[in-house]
A and B are shown apart, each in its own frame.
Chain A
Amino acid sequence: MRKILIVDDQPDIRRLIHLTLGKRYEIHEASNAADALLLAAEQKPDAVILDVMMPGDLNGMDVLQRIRADAELKGTFVVMVTAKGQQADFESAIDAGADGYLIKPFSPLQLMSLLQEHFGS
């Protein structure tokens, strides 16, 4: 089973994504950037669902940059998630090497098909 890492500070949203994907994938969750990086190094996930806005020193964009800079993790499929109206985030995320981008509230069907397309179902 492929591994997905969900990074979001909101437990309800994590749980929602977990329930959406849990039947198909092995799910890991992190509530902040630091935990996310630790878990990513430990679990080597196949994909990361990454919230841009997170409290703390590092945000989602920082996590993405570190993943891309890491020799072992740089090939990981990363889907960035952020709130409506943050158009600037979209461009910087693409520049920083995001593979997919969802705007909250996101369509669960779209999330599922993004992953299925990438993994070749």
Chain B
Amino acid sequence: MMYPPDSGNTGDSGALVAELQAQLYRYAEDLYVLMSEHDELQQRYRALDRSYRSISDYRDLLTTLMYSASEAYLSTSSGRITSATRSAAVLFGSDELVGQNLRGLIAAESLAAFDEMQGEISAGDNVRSGGGRLIGLVNASGEVVEALVWIIDDFSVGAEAEQLHWLVRPMIQDRIHIYDRDQSRQELGGEAVFYADGNGRLLVVNDSFCRISGYQPEECLGQPMRILKSGIQGEHFYRMFWEALKGNGSWQGEIVNRRKSGELYPEWLSVAGSRDSNGKIVGYFGKFHDLSRLHESEGHLSKLAYYDVLTGLPNRHLFQDRLKMAISQARRSNTQMGLFFIDLDRFKQVNDTLGHDVGDELLKVVAQRLASVTREMDTVARLGGDEFTVILPNLSHERDAHAIAAKILEVFQPPVQVGTHLLFPSPSIGIALFPSHGTDEATLIRRADMAMYHAKGDGGNAFRVFEMDDEGDTRVFSLESAFRQALDRGELYLVYQPQLSADGQTLHGVEALLRWRSPDFGDVSPNVFIPIAEWSGAIVDIGRWVIRTACAQMAAWREAGCHVERVAVNISPRQLRDANFTALVIEELEHSGLPAEALELEITESELMLYPESTLMKLDELRKRGLSIAIDDFGTGYSNLARLRTLPVDRIKVDRSFVQDLEHDGDAQAISTCIVTMAKVMKLDVVAEGVETAGQLRHLVDQGCTSVQGFLFAQPMLPASIENWIGLLTTQTGETNVA
């Protein structure tokens, strides 16, 4: 490859810059296209994964039905039994089946059907695709046992039909309730499976059937299928339904049924008849799943006036139904049940200052987030305004409710982008439990609401469980109140993660990461406490502490002869907005005696793109003094690369989500190639975050990425471990290889 000398173009350099800028814009557009395709693909994969899981769930259940222990296998040669399974011996009540003529064990009234089956073989029909025949078998006590019989393989097609293999499944005599073996499957929205006899009476149901219909096994077994009828489908529908069953032998489609609670719900139903030798239907296999949560049925459901139009969540009406149902279920099954009341902090301000459209968009995101962390069996409802509730049936312990509340707090933490606005929603959650806080709907609702107001009064972004003793001793589960004291109590500390050259030989710097170990809550994820610090305002003091501590640590390392070139600290939007930010950073640097070059400030992409000029001026001023600026989480925000060119930036960090997908996702590869390429053109350094495997590293090196951070080389470490680690690195490479 050769690079001819530049032609020393003296033309209109302004036009050239504009042309280049336009070209960079174009790259940014392509990047955006790639990223949205990437997003869409990921969603499709997830949907596929879900549907696959529901199919395999169904297969498992059907397998349980089909291959129950009572099923028997026999082989015959010229009509005589040559081998039989143990279960066949049980079925026929005889240990001496081998050698007997199978025809001799068939009840007189079924002989014609039995002969016909063998006749079909002679005629060369493909028996395996056919359904079983209902045949009467005579057991050792002379009783006739009805069984479905298949010929499962015919190795010698033709009149002789020497070798035949038989599958014999006795008709279901007893009513069976099948337990879903895997509880988590059930939560994924398992498929209901049932078997009814020729009169339409339910003989077999599984857990999902009970969950969806709201009936306990003992309540529905033996009952006619029509207990599920909603009355929505007219006579005409049922005529078609039965005609299809008689004709094709099966029917499937969407129908509306009624739960025990009286609530209507749409389901996708498949039914197939099983017939006897005369073609008479003797039973029905069926399966269905509840469609009421599926997006596809939204239009259908709004007709039923049970759903909130804005968010698609159940409305107050359905909430009351479900709460009633959950209470009676909990009472029957002797379990606990939880009720959450959730209110958004400062939502009114959003509506008042940014308008209802922005408020509505925010509510939609909130609804999605709530739905994403609750279990399948839980009900998330919107009562109106910014009031949400969650019904948690079937809790085995109060702490299960805490865990779900904590998950809700966590999932709320990422900011929400609505148009050009970046919003930081936070919830206040009140919790009441059945039966300890109330045994009827009204009491539970009142107490959950009361607890919610207490949580809000404590500053919000917290959950609180209702406490019976109102006089005092209210237990407050407020992360925020604990966090307020974390800095003073010395519960915060920094860990450092090395950033290295792609060959792992040279240390480029370290990133300081904030950690909180709370005596009450244990190790709390930064994803949870940083946003608390952010909106409570504590971030300003904490941010300053981080800068001071990181600088002091750098100075201490250098003092000890352990040279670390650079430390990066994360800066939040709130800190940057502080008018004294620049002065404060300079003061801390001077205090530590470190040169400005040793400090880098990391700012996330989405925030940087939204800053006003005045904020950027602060960064520019710091940069002129020698500090470096890095863009964090690059690739996840609005990638206006043309704007990027105008920002005071030295380095971009490729977001870990792209790095993670590098090995198996062409889109992620294209995106990271694009980012690295752009960075090179703009003469920016690139650090890839979250590098965990050699495969990812190989891709990054191919793309021209020179600096990496991640578990592959080093995890975040306490200061003393960093010293040891650098010592090892130096020994391995034989020299102090810092750049």
Contacts and interface: CB of A to CB of B under 8 A. Distances in A.
A27 interface: yes
B1 interface: yes
Between B7, B27, B677, the greatest number of chain A beta carbons within 10 A of the residue's beta carbon is seen for B7
Interface residues of A, number: 26
Contacts of A75: none
Contact of B26 (A19, A28, A35, A106): A106
A29 interface: yes
A13 B23 contact: yes
A15 B4 CA distance: 12
A16 interface: yes
Interface stretch (B14-22, B342-350, B613-621, B627-635): B14-22
B702 A23 contact: yes
B703 interface: yes
Contacts of A28: 1-2
Interface stretch (A4-12, A57-65, A66-74, A91-99): A4-12
A29 B4 contact: yes
Interface in A71-121: 83, 104-109
Nearest to A15: B681
B309 interface: no
B353 interface: no
Contacts of A15: 681
B69 to A, nearest CB: 55
Contacts of B703: 23
A26 B30 CA distance: 23
A31 B6 contact: yes
Dominant SS at the B interface?
A: helix
A35 B29 CA distance: 33
Interface in B11-62: 11, 16, 19-20, 22-27, 29-30, 33-34
Interface in B142-173: none
B77 interface: no
B366 to A, nearest CB: 36
B7 A9 contact: yes
Contacts of A30: 4
A20 B26 CA distance: 13
B4 A10 contact: no
Contacts of B680: 19
A11 B673 CA distance: 20
A29 B2 contact: yes
A27 B1 contact: yes
B420 interface: no
Contacts of B1: 26-28
Contact of A32 (B7, B30, B702): B7
B19 A106 contact: no
A104 B19 contact: yes
Contact of B4 (A20, A23, A27, A31): A31
A55 B23 contact: no
Given A15-B681, A16-B681, A28-B1, A105 B673 contact: no
Contacts of A27: 1
Nearest to A20: B677
Contacts of A108: 26-27, 30, 674
Contact of B681 (A19, A105, A106): A19
B248 interface: no
Contacts of B238: none
B646 interface: no
B677 A105 contact: no
B243 to A, nearest CB: 53
B684 to A, nearest CB: 13
B732 interface: no
A30 B6 CA distance: 9
B11 A55 contact: yes
A102 to B, nearest CB: 10
A107 B7 contact: no
Contact of B9 (A20, A55, A83): A55
B23 A105 contact: yes
B2 A10 contact: no
B671 to A, nearest CB: 12
B581 to A, nearest CB: 34
A30 B25 CA distance: 24
Contacts of A13: 19-20, 23
Given A23-B673, A28-B2, A109-B33, A104 B23 contact: yes
Interface of A: 9-13, 15-16, 19-20, 23, 26-32, 35, 55, 83, 104-109
Interface of B: 1-7, 9, 11, 16, 19-20, 22-27, 29-30, 33-34, 673-674, 677, 680-681, 702-704
Given A23-B703, A32-B7, 18 more contacts: A10-B19, A10-B20, A12-B16, A12-B20, A19-B677, A19-B680, A26-B1, A28-B1, A28-B2, A29-B3, A31-B4, A31-B7, A105-B23, A105-B26, A106-B23, A106-B26, A109-B30, A109-B34
30 contacts: A10-B20, A12-B20, A13-B19, A13-B23, A16-B23, A16-B27, A16-B677, A16-B681, A19-B680, A19-B704, A23-B673, A23-B703, A26-B1, A27-B1, A28-B2, A29-B3, A31-B5, A31-B6, A35-B4, A55-B9, A83-B19, A104-B19, A105-B19, A106-B23, A107-B30, A108-B26, A108-B30, A108-B674, A109-B30, A109-B34
